[in-house]
Amino acid sequence: MEYGNAPEDDSPARSWLDGHDKLFGTFINNKWNKANEADIPLAPSVSPSTGEVLAETVQATTDDVDAAVEAARAAYESWSALEPHVRARHIYAIARNLQKHSRLLAVVESMDNGKPIRETRDADIPAAVRHMYYHAGWAQIMDTELPNYKPVGVIAQIIPWNFPLLMLAWKIAPALAMGNTVVLKPAPSTRLSAALFADILAESGLPPGVVNIISGDNDMASHLSAHPDVDKVAFTGSTAVGKHLQRQLAGTNTKLSLELGGKSPVVVYESADLDGAVEGLVNGIWFNQGQVCCAGSRLLVQESVAEVFVEKLKRRMDTLRVGNSLEKNIDMSAIIDETQRDRIQSMVQIGIDEGADVYQPKDCVPSDGCFYPPTLVTNVQSTSTLVQEEIFGPVLVAQTFRTPAEAIKLANNTRYGLSAGVWTEKVGLALETALQIKAGVIWVNTHNVFDAAAGFGGYKESGFGREGGKEGLYEYVKLAWKKGGKRKVGDNVKENGVEWGKPRTKPLPSNPLQSNSLGGIPGVDRTPKMYIGGSQKRPDGNYVVPVMSSDGEKLMGQVGDGNRKDVRDAVSAACKAAPGWGKRGAYNRSQILFYIAENLSIRREEFASRIDGMTGCGIEEGLAEVDMSISRLFTYASYADKYGGHVQETPFSGVTSSVNEPVGVVGVVCSDDRPLLQFVSAVAPAVVRGNAVVACPSEKYPLAATDLYQVLDTSDLPGGVINIVTGQSDVIAKTLAEHQAVDGIWYFGDQEGCYNTQRLAAGNMKRTFVCGEGRDWMDREQGEGEEFLREASEVKNIWIPTGESMPGGGGAY
Amino acid sequence: MSTEALSTSDLPFISPLPQSRESTSKYNPGMPLDNHWVESSNVNHAGLIRRASEISGRRTVKKANQAAWLLRAITCIDLTTLSGDDTRGNVQRLCAKAKNPVRRDIMEKLGVPHDFVTTGAVCVYPARVQDAVEALEGSGIPVASVATGFPSGQIKTEHKLQEIEQCVADGAREIDIVLSRDLVLQGKWDQVYEEVKLFKAACGGAEMKTILATGELATFENVYKASLVCMMAGADFIKTSTGKEPVNATLPVSLCMLRAIRDYRDRTGFRVGYKPAGGISTAKDALTYLALVKDELGDSYLNNDMFRFGASSLLNDCERQLYHNAFGEYAADYYMPSV
């Protein structure tokens, strides 16, 4: 009773390839451009299952990049100005045409990428279509749903080879919906479905230049991402390249979203349906040969069931079928290319060398073609290379745990945070685990379920930004009041980068400083200190910086000159405070913020005169700033319990819930503008959404912030939630940006600071929120609102299936 | 896809049917009721549904393989009539079809002897057992009888036992009993167990298939637990449905029961067969069920010692599909000899 062969017919796909003479050029302005010179560089598209060269693709040059960006820029003028309804119709037409050609797309994708036809037919293509429909809807209602936003401009999108068409769709759809134009670069090894998509675009009547598709090598990609006329880069791929982009685009005011690697855990509790969990792993690690950024590649199974579970898993592996991608009754097909297969093989060899046990079903892969068997690695520890490193292949590594707490700890013991699976029939345990694993997507009792209505993206070094859901739209819009476009980072700024953040010794004033005195009697000295872990701390270096009155005549105070160790201590205090604070009830957080506002209002005049004293703004302006600060605290106290997330309307049978979680520890570096209000405007949203903050107040006017810690002390704020480090702001910003325990950094200041902050933040891929142009903090539109809440949050989508009653219906449903 | 007819050389691999039992005997002596095992069962609803819904996308059989699979499917059919208006006449017609399930010319075109396959059994009500036994005499095809107050089971245990004994006395070699759903829904597993044990004893040498009536058990967890209890009590087969519940055999329920069979085998070493019944009417459905059994339990369960379809119209559709395999044209159902 053998299954035998059941090949999908590939003749329509071959006929399409023949129609293009098996040669694809650049697609710019809805035209295929195939240069005629004989020496034009070509790259082959190879079928991984068979090794056959399916077609050749022209390698775009940097000139082609310029032409594509220029086309996108020209098209942007009219595309962005279209009525939302017209844009909706265009995207709807694309969706329809994709659907019409869905089988051809599925076959082409399967041939070119080597993934099973079942997956392209049942997963990739339907999901791509769904993204188009979903975003056609957003185009239609953009004006009412995103009233204060506008398109970003020209978007460069660089996508990988593992989901060529799906990645294309979920990048292009929101970009177009929000009124942007696109230059898309498919991966070098998988370009054919993008070429077919281009044909479909032209057929759909999309105006020329709105979507341009060019492919090429890494230099071409780098030229594209750094192009001076590209306003945003969206990248999916490796963490190493993601970091490179974060550095490359630092300080340029280019939006960036990154969807990167993963080492996603699948937690199997003893209370799980073990057979169900085995199937979850089939979908988790052997979907697309494990070449999935959110693959469930790290099994964590409770000790009490580990032995029986691993046996069940091995037995299931024995029934997995591996074969040519166009075969219909296979579970796995080919690895993308020899390089990747060699990499997988060498990783597994490292595991073996380190003492791991490797299980692979016998003789399950075809002798020809680029295949690798489903693989289970046991007898590994957290220290094992295979537990730490992403393999990007069909290799599952298994560890055991004793308790839920240990499961969560092991699950989070990774630089990545893309997804996780949780298997248990206990709902409380499932949700506890789901909420505590730091990852952007959590699947309860399922794995690798996606939909356009739910955002996809990671925490930590899995990148930032979301694709899908309303949360994904913000990657393709900017606030209407924002004027700043792309900026070039000057060579001088880059050269100064070495000096930036180095402590400077400030010369003391040549004249003796005058302290405040009252009628000849010395005033009682008030020494503002650092505020760390809820206590006032002297600066580690025990140096101070004078704060002068606005006329430069009087010494208003001397604040600590914070150094690296002060920042270290503050971050440590914030790390300690963050988990408990994040778990506090929203009601409680809001009460504390209201209380801060109340206590600030009691000292309204004092703060106003302090601001006036430092800045010379006048007492009226000072009062206005304090009043606005109080109002702002009210705003964010209000948002404590009104920004928690929502239920996503996916077709999934169950609940898909987006939860706005805290980012974690956030560093905030303020400029000198509006020293109290700016500090409050930045710190309050971060704190109210559950983050712990290390804040560096205005370097020049720090006393408004240091005065504030007395207010904080009397407002029931737990120690460590807000930490204040005064001193040289670039020194503090640099230390924060480099600190790996800091999850996000907000920098308000000059372009040089933005550049360096973003550049250094790439080390652990901090979320950065920088503003080098200044903003009117007194203006509500600019100084408060959703932008800040969003930056203070990490969107986690939790998928929880419903079901206990047996469904009706006979036969095979 | 191509609609070319098969050539006879495409079918060399069809093995004589049915296969003999494996050396690890199917015989299930049962075991003491293990309440802890039963109560600690975890069945994930959504996971079952997903796996079950994927099987037809992951597995398909075409051409020669399909013909072979369909022939195998036919050998696994308990060709069934369970109606109030059953008579000696229509039971005879059914039995004749059981002996000659596929038109001779189709078999010959496929290159196999015309008597290469029969159905696995004929399944009737107790009052029709003797009719069926007579009609099947010499064919080797066993008669299965439903019993124990089929389909509702709402009669006293003593009468259920008498019914079983009478069926066996009349020549039924297989007895399809029904569970007392009231006991299942109240979680009285000890009483379910005791009753099924009594049924087993009453069956004597006849094989016992226990019908769970899954459509009335509300949850997959109940289905799984009931499957375990029946096997502990000595069931030779576990079967989904009477065909009379609002929902009968489904793929998710089958997956749930197949996993119970596997878990029971893993713990005890005893092999128990599986019979989905009701609602399986197309050749395509049958192939999907076979694929599910193959992938979940292995090839050794793909024969009529370990697997049966409780069906009536399924046979006709398989025959039509075989016609298509043989001749490359689609057949009307009235071109096939009717049951």
Average pLDDT score over chain A = 95
Q: Is residue B137 part of a domain?
A: yes
Tell me, yes or no, if A86 comes closer than 8 A to chain B by beta carbon: no
The yes-or-no verdict on residue B336 having pLDDT over 60 is: yes
Give pLDDT, residue B5. Answer: 55
Where in the sequence numbering do the catalytic residues of A fall? 259
pTM of the full predicted structure? 0.94
Give pLDDT, residue A508. Answer: 67
Burial environment of residue B169 by CB neighbours within 10 A (0 to 12, 13 to 18, 19 or more): exposed
Q: Is residue B16 part of a domain?
A: no
For the stretch B235-279, pLDDT in tens is: 999 999 999 999 999 999 999 999 999 999 999 999 999 999 999
Nearest to A331 by CA among A122, A119, A127: A119
Q: Is residue B285 part of a domain?
A: yes
B201: domain CATH number is 3.20.20.70
Give pLDDT, residue A812. Answer: 38
Which pair of tokens denotes residue A16?
A: 């399409």
Q: Which residues of A794-803 are buried (b: 16+ CB within 10 A; e: fewer)?
A: bbbbbbbbeb
Give pLDDT, residue A526. Answer: 84
User: Which letter does DSSP use for residue A515 in this model?
Assistant: P
The yes-or-no verdict on residue B1 having pLDDT over 60 is: no
The yes-or-no verdict on residue B10 having pLDDT over 60 is: no
For the stretch B36-48, pLDDT in tens is: 999 999 999 999 9
In sequence order, the 6+-apart residues with CB closer than 8 A to the CB of A683 are: A668, A693, A695, A722
Give pLDDT, residue A524. Answer: 84
**Helical packing angle, A102-113 and A125-145, nearest 10°:** 120
Cβ-Cβ contacts under 8 Å, B69 against chain A = 1
The yes-or-no verdict on residue B225 having pLDDT over 70 is: yes
Determine the residue type at B205. Answer: G
CA-based nearest residue in chain B for residue A311: B266
Of B57, B223, B246, the CB nearest to A808: B246
Task: Please report which confidence band the pLDDT of residue A516 belongs to, taking 50, 70 and 90 as the band edges.
Answer: low
The yes-or-no verdict on residue B14 having pLDDT over 70 is: no
Give pLDDT, residue A509. Answer: 64
Burial environment of residue B146 by CB neighbours within 10 A (0 to 12, 13 to 18, 19 or more): buried
Inspect the interface and report whether the beta carbons of B252 and A807 lie closer than 8 Å: yes
Inspect the interface and report whether the beta carbons of A804 and B215 lie closer than 8 Å: no
Q: Is residue B195 part of a domain?
A: yes
For residue B127, give its domain range: 34-332
Count of domains in chain B?
Answer: 1
Task: Please report which confidence band the pLDDT of residue A808 belongs to, taking 50, 70 and 90 as the band edges.
Answer: low
For the stretch A564-606, pLDDT in tens is: 999 999 999 999 999 999 999 999 999 999 999 999 999 999 9
> Phi and psi at residue A44, in whole multiples of 5°?
-80, 150
Residue labelled with tokens 């004749």: B96
Inspect the interface and report whether the beta carbons of B49 and A274 lie closer than 8 Å: no
For the stretch A100-122, pLDDT in tens is: 999 999 999 999 999 999 999 99
For the stretch A703-728, pLDDT in tens is: 999 999 999 999 999 999 999 999 99
Q: Is residue B293 part of a domain?
A: yes
Q: Is residue B194 part of a domain?
A: yes
Q: Is residue B66 part of a domain?
A: yes
Q: What does the alpha-carbon distance between residue A637 and residue A594 come to, in Å, rounded to a whole number?
A: 6
Share of chain A above pLDDT 90, in %: 92
Q: Average pLDDT for residues A75-97, to the nearest whole number?
A: 98
**β-pairing verdict for A441-444 and A419-423:** parallel
In sequence order, the 6+-apart residues with CB closer than 8 A to the CB of A656 are: A451, A453, A454, A647, A648, A649, A650, A797, A798, A799, A800
Q: Is residue B22 part of a domain?
A: no
Domains, chain A: 16-260+474-479 (3.40.605.10), 264-457 (3.40.309.10), 534-799 (3.40.605.10)
CB distance A69 to A154 below 8 Å: yes
Q: What does the alpha-carbon distance between residue A91 and residue A180 come to, in Å, rounded to a whole number?
A: 12
Q: Average pLDDT for residues B325-333, to the nearest whole number?
A: 95
In chain A, residues 246-305 whose CB comes closer than 8 Å to chain B: 271-277, 279-280, 283
> Phi and psi at residue A524, in whole multiples of 5°?
-75, 125
Q: Average pLDDT for residues A733-760, to the nearest whole number?
A: 97
> Phi and psi at residue A781, in whole multiples of 5°?
-60, -40
Question: A379 to chain B nearest CA, in Å?
Answer: 24
The yes-or-no verdict on residue B8 having pLDDT over 50 is: no
The yes-or-no verdict on residue A661 having pLDDT over 90 is: yes
The yes-or-no verdict on residue B7 having pLDDT over 70 is: no
Inspect the interface and report whether the beta carbons of B1 and A9 lie closer than 8 Å: yes
For the stretch A6-25, pLDDT in tens is: 999 999 999 999 999 999 99
Strand partners, A257: A234
Q: What is the separation, in whole angstroms, between the first and last Cα of chain B?
A: 31
Strand partners, A255: A232
Q: Which residues of B312-338 are buried (b: 16+ CB within 10 A; e: fewer)?
A: bebbbbbbbbbbbbbbeeebeeeebee
Inspect the interface and report whether the beta carbons of A806 and B215 lie closer than 8 Å: yes
Give pLDDT, residue A500. Answer: 94
Q: What does the alpha-carbon distance between residue A157 and residue A154 come to, in Å, rounded to a whole number?
A: 10
Task: Please report which confidence band the pLDDT of residue B2 belongs to, taking 50, 70 and 90 as the band edges.
Answer: very low
Q: What does the alpha-carbon distance between residue A407 and residue B91 come to, in Å, rounded to a whole number?
A: 61
Which pair of tokens denotes residue A612?
A: 């006036």
Nearest to B91 by CA among B168, B151, B172, B155: B172
